[in-house]
Chains A and B, each alone.
Chain A
Amino acid sequence: MPKDHGIGASPKRREDVRFLSGTGNYTDDINANGQAYVHFLRSDVAHARIKSINTDAAAAMPGVVRIFTGADFEGVGGIPCGWCVTDRHGEPMQEPAHPVLAQGKVRYVGDQIAAVVADTAEQARDAAEAIEVDLEELPAVVDMKAALAEGATKVHDDLSSNLCYDWGFVEENKDAVEQAMQDAAHVTTLELRNNRLVANPMEPRVAIGDFNRATGDSTLYTTSQNPHVIRLLMGAFVLGIPEHKLRVVAPDVGGGFGTKIFHYAEEAFCTFAAKAINRAVKWTSSRSEAFISDAHGRDHVTKIELALDADNNFTAVRTDTHANMGAYLSTFAPSVPTWLHGTLMAGNYKTPLIYVNVKAVFTNTVPVDAYRGAGRPEATYQLERVIDKAARELGVDPIALRRQNFITEFPYATPVAVEYDTGDYHGTMDALEKMVDLSGFEARRRESEARGKLRGFGVNCYIEACGIAPSNLVGQLGARAGLYESATVRVNATGGLVVMTGSHSHGQGHETSFPQVIAEMIGIDESMVEIEHGDTDKAPMGMGTYGSRSIAVGGSAMVRATEKIIAKAKKIAAHLMEAADADIELKDGTFSVAGTDKSVAWGDVTLAAYVPHNYPLEDIEPGLEETAFYDPANFTYPSGAYACEVEVDPDTGKVSIERFAAADDFGNIINPMIVDGQVHGGIGQGIGQALLENAVYDENGQLLSASYMDYAMPRADDVPFYAVDHSSQTPCTHNPLGVKGCGEAGAIGSPPAVVNAVVDALQSGGHDVTHIDMPVSPSRVWSAMQS
């Protein structure tokens, strides 16, 4: 019988009642008294010097309160970068200034030139059109390799070049890897591009700055995955507001996928302007604006080489990547192609030697930062594509080649600085093989061929490092923040609990799954537990939600705080029953004295804590509220094996996904239904990247795919029903729940399976196609078949 309660049960998501009935409270639903509206005048050219800005006519327009330009922000801090990468030569990365409003130059289509604050949004937009800007256009830097050429136009005049950093990892292995390549029996090489993506959360970004003249307090309501991080970055680095005078609230947030992690100029602007004009200021992004102002994802150009010995054992991997940073460094941008990417290049395999080189490049494009998976999809894609290509070149079965090279002993220290605590890669591959009916594939292929279609099967594995992250480790790697998580558990007098967590839910279902953990620990019903998140005035300093960290790190903090609650409650119970602390047991919400029939209910104990008439006041304080901060000892390492079956229409090149199976090892699972949903959504985005999505710039730096007319999002009929399996479980060894995290796996694990399947289909039709870049669009497939 499946459980109906506690860890492992699948209660329906309680937050869906408000999400599905239109009664959520999103940032745009919030309206401050007397608020004004801001419209940002954004650059429509990619690169130009600002010769002059004349706001006189605009300022005289109806309803205009004030117009701000870069000059108003002189002396105000710039948008900070949260991670400093050290290059191959021990030098820090080049880090350009990132002003709130453009100063001197605009550097991408979408860069903010000026901001008009007016009584209504329409008035602000009208006035923005009346601003006269004299721009001297400069050549746009778009292509990464051209950006690094001698004499290339510089995006930032005060930097020595467009190179942010040249990172080598592990630098000491460089020569050994070169030697291994020379000694190899076979080397497979693949050049590929990991396509640039726009995150497209359903809810565009919104910010409202408010200022209370009486108290001097500032409040920012914002669509963020991590309000405390915004408070710290904006308060300490941009505006100089201490935490106790600044509150950041991120209420219901309609999807983030990474792009709502970062601190954006619009947030700082609204907070700054509210104080300047002594009136709340609201900004709501349009979808068109989102395309050119939300941080983009991916955009890596890579060459990977895989060396094998005569027995097909992997002996070395070398990869060379150009990573697009866009025009400025977004909050975590430098970490994505380095520490979230290079450290994953071992994958599921015992390759002894690995060298990763990454050149991060400034271009006149929207800044690029973490997007669901962040670095790990880029690592998985290239590795699993090159393994597939190697299997084909060597004429061996792609599953067998993978199995032969699997890591089987744990803990396993990779040559790229991380230690996998646990895993069972044969176990997930076995689970996958059970789902995919490989023996029936040939018959399915013949059936497709009878209809004039080509059928292909693709498989891949993935590993990811999530549960981000041990603070001391990331500190050594350049993070300018810790990556612990916090929780305060407040028990009320009548026994209900409120958990104030630093994790933030923007669709993940924390309000349902977190109470399941507490219900299990105490033995009470989930309905007695409420989750509060998204308000810096309520929860203790926390780091928010990304990197599949909520249950692994935030959940662990909640467990630690709840353990403290239980320990104290046992003391109270011992006093009430006149027994020794050590003899008290808690089961099904009742405290009892071991070996006796004496018991008190959970509610009796919580009441005693707040009405301490009969209470050990000399030993313990009244009340029942505890806080814990949890800093993980290691990353967690979810892993899995994915398979995709496609049909290609050789006449049109159109790919349809017929079957998709995912076998994941997430360790212990709190709510299987929510985990399935996370995997489904991740695979949907992975299929989107593989087949449809593509942010394309022309040579002038204009974003060609700047609306849904040209940016193809996956829709329901683009994806199949998924087969998912989570039965292969190797619990994480270092967190109290044994959980690993599941939020990004689907997006990490699915793109290579799709492309591997397409290549397999084309090969079966006699086409010597070894690679097609994503998105594998009909046109690209057809063109590949012609050559």
Chain B
Amino acid sequence: MYNFEFEKPASIADAVAALGDEDAQALGGGQTLIPTLKQRLASPSKLVSLTGISEMQGICMDDDGRVCIGGASTHAAVAEGASAYPALAALAGGIGDPAVRARGTIGGSLANNDPAACYPAAVLASGATIFTNAREIAADDYFQGMFTTALDEGEIVTEIKFPVPEAANYQKFEQPASRFAMVGVFVAKFADGVRVAVTGASEDGVFRWAEAEAALSANFSADALADMAPAADGMIADLHGTSEYRAHLVGVMTRRAVAAAS
């Protein structure tokens, strides 16, 4: 680790100001950033911790019936507190291990947008809205490929609002070593249609599987997807599996999610 300054502001405004310094970087739960620093792969001049900001904590329901989660809420807090959206709570409870869940935050996960992370699938499938210190961003506009998002430099994810579907489920097939998602599929059934988001599989990061959405919107049952799988082209191939295998798993996990949700 290289040396850095450390600040722990109590308000979003102070955090935005602190992040104005050159090479300052936000620190959520540190579950991604701290290992990166330890390996000397990043050298921020200053870390601005977001965990002391009470406006970014907590889970509640808004008037539109959306589950609203503060950007600095830990995975453990969501697993415990998002009971109004059980599929989301279950997803949070399946991230990493207890130590990771006690520290890692939803804002950190979404800012990082790891192609194998779980939350992006929930956010995209739910059609959630990401609120920052500056604006609100629809999920469909937010994710822009592996480790890439619509966030600007120094922009903070302050809150995420999730519409609650009629039925939903997340199925995660774990990569054997990291236990991140090798393939994770979040299926959300709304009155006006079904959304299916896939994480872990694609070289472009989280994506919506349009073909499955169309089939499921017409007939919300696993049978509607019989033998269906996305094209292997563009799927990740690494020492844990071929792109054909990942494409196949997307089909399997989607069918399982539908079966579990319906």
Contact = CB atoms under 8 A, between A and B. Distances in A.
B176 A704 contact: no
A120 interface: no
B121 to A, nearest CB: 18
B206 interface: no
Interface stretch (B20-28, B57-65, B136-144, B245-253): B245-253
Contacts of B135: none
B39 A288 contact: yes
B131 interface: no
A779 B238 CA distance: 10
Given A691-B176, A710-B239, A710-B240, 8 more contacts: A652-B173, A652-B252, A708-B177, A711-B177, A777-B176, A777-B241, A778-B176, A779-B241
Given A288-B39, A709-B178, A710-B178, A694 B239 contact: yes
5 contacts: A288-B39, A696-B239, A708-B177, A709-B177, A712-B177
Contacts of B40: 125, 129
Contact size range, B:
10 to 19
B176 A712 contact: yes
A58 to B, nearest CB: 15
A778 B248 CA distance: 12
Contact of A777 (B178, B240, B244): B240
Given A651-B252, A712-B177, A779 B242 contact: yes
Interface string B156-187: 00000000000000000100111000000000
A141 to B, nearest CB: 20
Contacts of A786: 244
Name the 9 nearest CB pairs between A and B, nearest first.
A779-B241, A712-B177, A712-B176, A709-B178, A779-B245, A651-B252, A696-B239, A710-B177, A704-B239
A783 interface: yes
B173 A783 contact: no
A63 to B, nearest CB: 14
Given A692-B176, A711-B177, A779-B241, A652 B39 contact: no
Contact size range, A:
20 to 34
B174 to A, nearest CB: 9
Nearest to B2: A126
Interface string A639-676: 00000000000011110000000000000000000000
B245 A783 contact: yes
Contacts of B245: 653, 778-779, 782-783
A700 interface: no
A705 interface: yes
Interface string A451-472: 0000000000000000000000
Interface of A: 122, 125, 129, 288, 651-654, 691-692, 694, 696, 704-705, 708-713, 775, 777-779, 782-783, 786
Nearest to B1: A122
A610 B239 CA distance: 67
Interface of B: 1, 39-40, 173, 176-178, 238-242, 244-245, 248-249, 252
Contacts of B176: 691-692, 712, 775, 777-778
B187 to A, nearest CB: 17
B248 A705 contact: no
Nearest to A786: B244
Contacts of A708: 177-178
> Looking at A654, A694, A709, which has the most chain B CB atoms within 10 Å of its CB?
A709
A288 B40 CA distance: 12
Nearest to B183: A652
Contacts of B177: 692, 705, 708-713
Nearest to B38: A286
A129 B43 CA distance: 14
B262 to A, nearest CB: 18
B248 A782 contact: yes
A20 to B, nearest CB: 19
Contacts of B242: 779, 783
A234 B244 CA distance: 51
A317 B39 CA distance: 49
A191 B1 CA distance: 46
A288 B252 CA distance: 35
A387 to B, nearest CB: 28
A129 B252 CA distance: 47
B232 to A, nearest CB: 12
Contacts of A652: 173, 249, 252
B241 to A, nearest CB: 3
A708 B96 CA distance: 13
Contacts of A691: 176
A131 to B, nearest CB: 15
Nearest to B173: A652
Contact of B240 (A125, A129, A779): A779
A691 B177 CA distance: 11
Contacts of B173: 652, 654, 778
Contacts of B252: 651-652
Contacts of A122: 1
A786 B232 CA distance: 15
> Looking at B40, B176, B240, which has the most chain A CB atoms within 10 Å of its CB?
B176
B133 to A, nearest CB: 31
A122 B4 CA distance: 14
